[in-house]
Structure 1
């Protein structure tokens, strides 16, 4: 790196962030990441305090906040514990933000209903929880072309050439309660015949630029020396043929396509969820 480049590169600013939750803290963690990502030069040092449901636990948490002052984000339902946290943070002149309050107030005003005030309500062992566990089990057993005879029970089936993030996208969807299967499109064989007779699942093709796929495949292979098969796997011209074949297949069967070249797994999954929602609302 040149000295000029070093001068223009922002110096990272490290700061403490305390995530205080009476549940698992997943909500706080997600909101912190979404917010901190908008500040490239800011690097949060996370302190996580999960399942804080007693005064003794809160007192210990406050002692750690005092030892490393910084932002405090919290989701605490118990009024006594909330008050204790807010008063002590005020004394320490430390910003304390209840991240769910604006949403809860908006829901209350719109629905005309009071909140239930249950800590960790989103993690109860209810139907939604078991649906998510069932979706994860289904996705694991239908990964990479497995159990094609059972594809009709899927919510979505992803098809695509190698390294289009089919498996991680399916796992992300499963965590949202979506039963997702995936079928690899390989140049040496035809897709399973069951794929072409599906009625219930939404079949979606994942595509990417051949140049990007070639880079990813070369990186994955690293220093392996397995002969022509390996060279063919990352050969740009052959990949172009693979991608073209995949696009023609999707066009023939009118399967929607998503270009994942510049998309994260989360962005690809969001696009799939949008398509699923639109289909269900037809």
Structure 2
């Protein structure tokens, strides 16, 4: 008999990995988001690299049955997990197996059995660390002269998610800085001379910005001001958008976008920009 779709469902999800478990967490969140009334109780078992660690993980799975998602390279530990789950009648899925099998068939090559292969300390890893350092040093209008070396510069009024988006982009390897647009503070014209950075304007609906700013002031136990006046915010946003249009900067509306979605849109725009440069 099917479940009533209007009833909230809470269930245990065990994420078992011999690496950090980031892939499992992302997959779990993306999957459970498609089930409106389902709430996953997440149990992350990361860096499971010995039989003792696997035994502790299996005991936890038995005590809190639900579903199991795993990424395990070692065949013995995979077998331990699969056999115990089968005995307990608990669904267990190796989330990378279908992708690895498909890619192996396409490439005609065997799969490299390496734990945490995506976390190797290669040049890409160090590029991401350098990008994160760059984002921290060039956050919120700091060290603006250094932004000439940025890949991406984000502009926007207060509370348009400039900092978290910069950090997310940096984690993807893009050197990103951001500059706030503040009422009655002159626009930093020197960035107009920068040839390399891709400059993007961020904006949101005034009502959304007011909501976020009010929450911030409440957290700071501060009083109200033009900072949260909707007409003042509307004027700020209009001036910012007019400036973006005048300068020819692409704009991204962050009103209903998550940080990940905003960053994905910016990356798409950046890649188009680089393609056009390379084709020029």
- Which TM class, normalised by the smaller chain length? over 0.9
3-state DSSP class of the match of 2:11? Answer: strand
TM-score by structure 2 length? 0.92
Verify: 1:137 aligned to 2:164, yes or no: no
Q: Distance in 1 between matches of 2:141 and 2:135?
A: 11
Q: Distance in 1 between matches of 2:272 and 2:97?
A: 30
How far has the Cα of 1:267 moved from its partner? 0.9
- Aligned equivalent of 1:252, options 246, 249, 254: 246
Structure 2: gaps (5+ residues): none
Contact 1:183 1:191 (8 Å CA) reproduced? no
TM-score by structure 1 length? 0.92
3-state DSSP class of the match of 1:74? Answer: strand
Contact 1:142 1:182 (8 Å CA) reproduced? yes
Contact 1:144 1:182 (8 Å CA) reproduced? yes
- Aligned equivalent of 1:207, options 178, 203, 210: 203
The 1:225/1:26 distance shift into structure 2, 3 A limit, reads: closer
3-state DSSP class of the match of 1:159? Answer: strand
Q: Over aligned residue pairs, what C-alpha RMSD do you find?
A: 1.7
How far has the Cα of 1:189 moved from its partner? 1.0
| 1:5 counterpart residue number | none
Contact 2:5 2:37 (8 Å CA) reproduced? no
How far has the Cα of 1:224 moved from its partner? 4.4
- Aligned equivalent of 2:270, options 272, 276, 281: 276
- Aligned equivalent of 1:233, options 196, 205, 227: 227
| 1:109 counterpart residue number | 105
Verify: 1:71 aligned to 2:67, yes or no: yes
How far has the Cα of 1:56 moved from its partner? 2.2
| 1:126 counterpart residue number | 122
3-state DSSP class of the match of 1:158? Answer: strand
Q: Distance in 1 between matches of 2:11 and 2:221?
A: 42
3-state DSSP class of the match of 2:225? Answer: helix
Verify: 1:92 aligned to 2:88, yes or no: yes
The 1:9/1:85 distance shift into structure 2, 3 A limit, reads: closer
Q: Distance in 2 between matches of 1:212 and 1:68?
A: 40
Deviations 1:84-138 (A, max 9, x none): 2112211111111000111111211222222211011111211111111111110
Q: Distance in 1 between matches of 2:217 and 2:52?
A: 53
Q: Distance in 2 between matches of 1:9 and 1:167?
A: 38
Runs (4+) of structure 1 exceeding 4 A deviation are 223-226
3-state DSSP class of the match of 2:34? Answer: coil
The 1:18/1:268 distance shift into structure 2, 3 A limit, reads: same
How far has the Cα of 1:159 moved from its partner? 0.3
1:136-155 aligned within 5 A: 136-155=132-151
Q: Distance in 2 between matches of 1:281 and 1:43?
A: 42
How far has the Cα of 1:9 moved from its partner? 9.7
Name the stretch that deviates more: 97-106 or 81-90.
Answer: 81-90
| 1:195 counterpart residue number | 191
Q: Distance in 1 between matches of 2:217 and 2:53?
A: 49
When the two structures are aligned, how many residues end up with a matched partner? Answer: 272
- Aligned equivalent of 1:80, options 65, 76, 82: 76
Structure 1: gaps (5+ residues): 1-7
Deviations 1:165-185 (A, max 9, x none): 101111111111111100111
Contact 2:148 2:194 (8 Å CA) reproduced? yes
